[in-house]
Amino acid sequence: MMLEGIYHKCGFNDCYCLNENELKINLHANKSVKRAVLMCDDPYSKGISGGNWTGNPVEMTVSRTLSLENIFSVSVKPEYKRLQYYFVIYFDNDTSVCLLEDGIHSTGYLNRCELVKHYFKFGWMNDSDICTPPKWVENTVWYQILPDRFCRVDDGYKGKFVDWNDVSCIDYKSMYGGNIRGIDSKLEYLASLGITGIYFNPIFKSSTNHKYNTDDYLTVDPVFGSNEDFANLVKRAHMLGIKVMIDAVFNHTSRNFFAFKDVLKNGQNSLYYNWYYINSSDFAKDGNTKDGRYYSFAFVSDMPKLNTNNKEVADYFTDVCKKWISMFDIDGIRFDVGNEISHSFIKHLNLELKSIKPDLFLLGEIWTDSSPYLAGDEYDSVMNYPFMFSLDTFFKDKALCTKDFINQINYCYSLYKDQTNKVIFNQLDSHDVGRIITRAGSYDAFIQQIAILMTMPGSPCIYYGTELALDGQNDPYNRKPMPWKDLDCSEHQSVFNQVKALIAVRKFDCFKSEQPFDFFNMDTQRLIHYTRGTDQKGFVYINASGSDVDVAINKNSKIVFSHKYNNFKLQTGGVLVIVD
């Protein structure tokens, strides 16, 4: 009987409200635990003093298997909106212990009337504490656009740009001249692909091609067009059923932002001196900021870090967001460097912005476990880099088996509440990492990962050009201009059609984001097999092994996507998606 690794916290992601009636309870246990029973009841069921309180048994089931632990879960409906509970944990040969808030005890401990028992207690199911991300996000398929590189049409702006079809000399400073009217002209193209949401990298005035060093948060960069152009684009997107999310760079500004320019001019006498983290009197000099003269993003001198703990800063950028909603009618905001912004600022933003637009989607850019920001009063979701990296590792490391894949994906979906997992922002590439076709190393691995992206819970996003298998290592090569002149070539059309077909899979009820998933085939082969749905069932097979696999389907099943599947045989590198 091993007791290490058995734990539970009353709160956070271990005990939380699914909705106004249901409470989700998770217990973490080592692999020697065979069974878990939740003993629960209202804390006052035996009177205010709680004498002789025992609880009623509710069987728990294993919801997630991880490499070193199993997670037992159950949902209950407390009649009076509060719950007192403990766990009875069983091992082999029917030995058992109890887990209370103060630790593990023998079952006999509960019979000792002279001792005060430290039961877990969930105080009250307050409506305002329930995590409720916007429902529309659950089944949105996103498309990320870097405006300078997506499409250019003549809008009268005269600038010096690199030839759109020349990527031979691309570098960090290359300007290709993509613009909003160009994007607008391709909205029907995106709709035909099955896209229902666009995530824009920054669009506001800045000196760089990426626009992450913002000069003016209320003026669309003239290279891209005008505020009116963007407002018109959003209106047209909405008519096509496409939501729009823009990038908010509130962790830092540029040195040309009015507040930092005033600090450069007036030093400590500036009204905006405390908007930043200035640590030296000679802070104005050029060069990276590793000397600590002021804090900046990644030591980049042209990205001085904002003090988002400062109320004036919080109020200013909250007002900016309100103006974005008013000016453009946007549906979501993505927050750059989302884990370096203060919790107090994001809580303030959430409260203020949701009061204006309750279904506004707030997305944080965080690359690691983001639980502290996902309690329900800050971000609605985060960019799910753990998911991306888990797939990346499995397909690159051939020594890993199916069980390793299952453990890692289960880990990703064990990090957050069920509500958050329904809107988790899953992606395979972005402007910050190498493109998926390049990292995957083969077309088979590329299409297999796209299939997983589109058939797992969450709100999937593809990076512009991924639907054509656009390649490229890290910046600047992952930011090539969209190859529109080659769009009709057979190779690109073949990829486009396969990606489109995989996006269309999400229209089936069993592949909706709210539907559960379960893994099969826990052997050591690299065949991934999981199901989705309850009433309608979806089945996914990914053959990442080195040999072909027999996969028989019944006559009532419908193949909704296949790659390298013939005569009931799924070839190595193949994908099969079935709906019953």
User: Which residues are marked as active site?
Assistant: 336, 365
User: What is the DSSP pairing of strand 103-106 with strand 332-335?
Assistant: unpaired
Going by C-alpha positions, the residue among 416, 496, 400, 403 that lies closest to residue 458 is: 416
Whole-angstrom Cα distance, residue 578 to residue 558? 6
Sign of the four-CA dihedral 163, 168, 172, 178: positive
299 backbone dihedrals φ, ψ, rounded to 5°: 70, 15
Q: Is 474 helix (H, G, I), strand (E, B) or coil?
A: coil
Q: Two tokens at 357?
A: 């637009």
DSSP E strands, 401-508: 425-427, 459-463
Cα dihedral 317, 319, 321, 323 in deg (nearest 10)? -140
The Cβ of residue 292 has, within 10 Å, a number of other Cβ atoms equal to 11
Cβ-count burial 263-279 (b if 16+ within 10 Å, e if not): beeeeeebebeebbbbe
Answer for the pair 412, 540: CB distance below 8 angstroms, yes or no: no
Question: Residue 28: which H helix or E strand, with range?
Answer: strand 23-29
Cα dihedral 212, 215, 220, 226 in deg (nearest 10)? -140
